[in-house]
Amino acid sequence: MYQFFVEPEQIQGNRIIITGKDFNHIKNVLRMKVGEELNVKSGMDDNEYRCGILEFTEEEVICELYFIKEEATELPVRVYLFQGLPKSDKMELIIQKAVELGAYEIIPMATKRAIVKLDDKKAKTKIARWRGISEAAAKQSKRAIIPNITAPKSFKEALEYCKAMDVKLIPYELAEGMEFTRNVIAGIEKNQSVAVFIGPEGGFAEEEIQAAREAGMLPVTLGKRILRTETAGMCVLAFLLYQLEE
């Protein structure tokens, strides 16, 4: 069943109004008809609004609310994925899969060894594209929210951004063994915020690791194998999902 996101004010009693690009998608791409059912979420909570299409106007799809399903689809922690800017279109894959696995927010990060450099013009174009991918992945995976993709940050800005977060992890090939990683993951509690820093293809520079340690981040290992940048974040998210999913 198709899922769409609306603003809270578009849920009006037993009527739900869908506008904009979703209106066009429902009417002209999916060619849905009056009476067909769909799911709607507001992005504000876990409620799923099951409704049916009542009528089309020139700019709106007017739906009738059938019932509200209260089922938690979000992880019980907020995971902030700080991703070192990778080459080519890898960021698109990373965003898609991170959203599917439950990331709360994704922060592109410029690091010392990152090959990709984004000027303001390129960044704006990329961010718009990445946010579209996040929205599509959220719809496909029945997320309750659309995870935000922030503007790219420097490594220093990223450390400042996560300063108040409860748990801060940075996978590093010279970190302690898996037992330490297991204990750290097991110690994460519901409703906490978790920062996960992932390096680009060349990994983090030693001075970045040192700065991360000084900022209270915990270096953790993800196993004996060296993972690609597009794999490492997914590995951490999978660990968290396995440990915390209700």
* Number of domains comprising the chain: 2
**Whether residue 228 is found in the same domain as residue 145:** yes
Residue 120 pLDDT greater than 90, yes or no = no
**Whether residue 146 is found in the same domain as residue 209:** yes
**Model pTM?**
0.85
For residue 168, give the H/E element and its range.
Answer: strand 167-171
Q: Which of 49, 70, 91 is the last residue of a domain?
A: 70
**Whether residue 98 is found in the same domain as residue 47:** no
Domain containing residue 52: 3-70
**Whether residue 128 is found in the same domain as residue 61:** no
pLDDT of residue 77: 95
pLDDT digits (tens, 9 = 90+) for 32-55: 999 999 999 988 877 889 999 999
Measured between alpha carbons, how far is 197 from 83 in angstroms, rounded to an integer? 6
pLDDT of residue 43: 82
pLDDT of residue 107: 97
Residue 52 has phi, psi (to 5 degrees) of -125, 150
**Whether residue 128 is found in the same domain as residue 237:** yes
Q: Which of 70, 96, 117 is the last residue of a domain?
A: 70
Task: Please give the share of the chain, as a percent, with pLDDT higher than 90.
Answer: 78
pLDDT of residue 114: 84
Rounded mean pLDDT, 162-176: 92
The 3-state DSSP class for residue 63 equals strand
Measured between alpha carbons, how far is 147 from 96 in angstroms, rounded to an integer? 10
Contacts of 204 by beta carbon, 8 Å cutoff, 6+ apart: 84, 111, 112, 113, 170, 172, 197, 212
Q: Which of 70, 87, 114 is the last residue of a domain?
A: 70
Show the CA angle centred on residue 47, arms to residues 164 and 25, nearest 5°.
100
Q: What is the CATH number of the domain that holds 234?
A: 3.40.1280.10
**Whether residue 59 is found in the same domain as residue 101:** no
